[in-house]
Amino acid sequence: MQWYWLPEFMPRFIEGLWVTVQLLGLSIFFGMLLAIPLGLVQVTGPRPLSWLARGFCTVIRGTPLLIQLWLIYYGLGSLFPSVPWIRESALWPVLREAFPYAVLAFSISVAGYEGEIMRGAFRGVPKGELEAARALGMSPFKVLHRVWLPRALQNVFPTLTGEFILTLKAVPLASTITIFDVYGVGAIVRQETYRIYEPLLFVGLIYLLLTLALVLVFRYFENKIPKRA
Amino acid sequence: MENALELLAFSPPGWGGALLRGLVTTIQIALGAYFLGLFLGLCGALGKLYGGPILRGVLEFYTTLFRAVPELVLILLLYYAGSDLLNIALESMGFERYDMSALTAGIYVIGFVQGAYSTEVLRAAIGAVPSGQMEAARAIGMSSFQAHRRVLIPAMLPFALPGLGNLWLITTKDTALLAVVGLSELLLVTRQAAGSTKAFFTLYLAAGALYLMLTLISLAVFALIERRYRRGQPVQG
């Protein structure tokens, strides 16, 4: 075991860590934003919408994330440059990077998995609570905002924590589309120093700590949920 | 559309045949890894339940580590380190070097990762079997092995099957990660095809459809298995 490369590459690992955290945060944010309506329409939505949402979840959950990522990056990435108005738009410098494609792919994946979980969560809220809210004169939107959604999220909080850890562990896949997250930096070390195991073990250690941190953060929020004694 | 059909034709220059061969490799790896994982999981679960403090500690370390580190990192580590360590061990004992085929290495790598998850699923399922059932089995004179084979394992299967079904789906999708170490399963074949024809959308969508088919068929099969093993369970209202 030789660790002489560690001080030299430390700044890049810290940059990589930031990329990993950003990717994770953005994917969870946009993913959940999509997952909530996906779960909701499967419970109350009109038939066609509910079928569409269910189909979306099945397709996303039934195909490997790596294939989704490559489809979006190589597929869209090869399509966009051939469309003139996209090339001339102000967004083009952003779309030339790999990062937005990774966020898009991960968000869609999170939406698919968590949409399924939110379906169960919305269904699991006792009917009486919703009826009580409506009886108090809340509008349907207010019922969702004040009662249905908070109660649903509370019930599946531990499940969601587990799911987000899975998302964290999917982030290294982004390194296959030229993004330098923690794992990507580890791969650079491997190429430049010809050490195979040490960088991988180091990346593993960072992930262990990240998982721990994520668990602690979510446990903090979980403890804020009022429990019936 | 015409173009896409030509691209996916079974004989070269079409890529359909290559994709299907990739799918067969994927299924082979997934099956091998899944059953290796199940075997490790059963040993691990029993070890966690009956083992001494040292064995329990080792197993706890295995399941925690393997579930916390990303699969991609584990696959790279095991893929390179695994065959390396095996050869060092073989040479130190005076045997010939053994060049593991990529397929075997892939099965071992994914199998070890799945073993950690299976351990937890099976341990939870065994814990859900009322202890009276095992006591009754021992009381009528079954040996410990008989009681496990005849009572514990059939009784815990209904609890374990949903988790095991999920694990199978995860295994089939994890095999895609082996594309990164250069094992020509479905995804790597697709990537090569897409690279040489520039038809990214068509080929990736076709591969995605194949994975989806595998998932949907698996779901149906697991529903059948689950129905069979739930025969002895009280009907849930």
Percent pLDDT > 90 in chain B is 34
Coil, strand or helix at B234: coil
Same domain, A195 and A113: no
What is the distance in angstroms between the Cα of B114 and the nearest Cα belonging to chain A?
Answer: 14
Out of A63, A70, A201, name the one closest to residue B211 (CB).
A63
User: Which residue of chain A is at minimal alpha-carbon distance from B219?
Assistant: A62
Residue A193's domain spans which residues?
A: 180-223
> Span B212-235, mean pLDDT?
85
pLDDT of the residue at B237: 43
Is residue A80 a part of any domain in this protein? yes
Question: A67, B190: Cβ pair inside 8 Å?
Answer: yes
Opening angle at CA B224, ends B221 and B226, nearest 5: 110
Buried b / exposed e over B123-149, threshold 16 CB at 10 Å, is bebbeebeeeebeebeeeebeeeebbe
- In-domain check, residue A18: no
Query: Which chain B residues are closer than 8 Å to A162 by Cβ?
Result: none
pLDDT exceeds cutoff 70 at A165: yes
pLDDT in tens, A179-219: 999 999 998 998 898 888 888 889 989 998 999 899 899 88
Coil/strand/helix, residue A75: helix
Can you give the pLDDT at residue A194?
85
Check CB contact of A60 with chain B, cutoff 8 Å. no
Structure ipTM over 0.85, yes or no: no
Establish if B157 belongs to a structural domain: yes
Domain count, chain B: 1
Tens of pLDDT along B62-111?
A: 998 888 888 888 888 888 777 777 788 888 887 777 777 788 888 998 99
pLDDT category at A64 given cuts 50, 70, 90 is very high
| Nearest in space to A157 (alpha carbons), one of A120, A207, A107, A112 | A120
Which band of pLDDT confidence, cut at 50, 70 and 90, is reported for residue B11? low
pLDDT per residue as tens digits for the range A77-99: 878 877 777 777 777 777 778 89
Question: Which residue out of A74, A79, A161, A197 would a mutagenesis test of the B interface target, given it has the greatest number of B Cβ atoms within 10 Å?
Answer: A74
A146 and A218 within one domain: no
A132 band by pLDDT with thresholds 50, 70 and 90 = very high
Instruction: Considering only the C-alpha atoms of chain A, give the largest distance between any 2 of them, rounded to a whole number of Å.
Output: 69
A14 within domain boundaries: no
B14 occurs within a structural domain: no
Report the pLDDT value the prediction gives residue B112, as an integer from 0 to 100. Answer: 92
On chain B, the residues whose CB falls within 8 A of the CB of A173 are 72, 177
Calpha distance B136→B12 (Å, rounded):
63
A71 and B200 within 8 Å at the Cβ level: the answer is yes
- Asked if residue A112 is part of any domain, the answer here is yes
| Residue B193 contacts residue B13 (beta carbons within 8 Å) | no
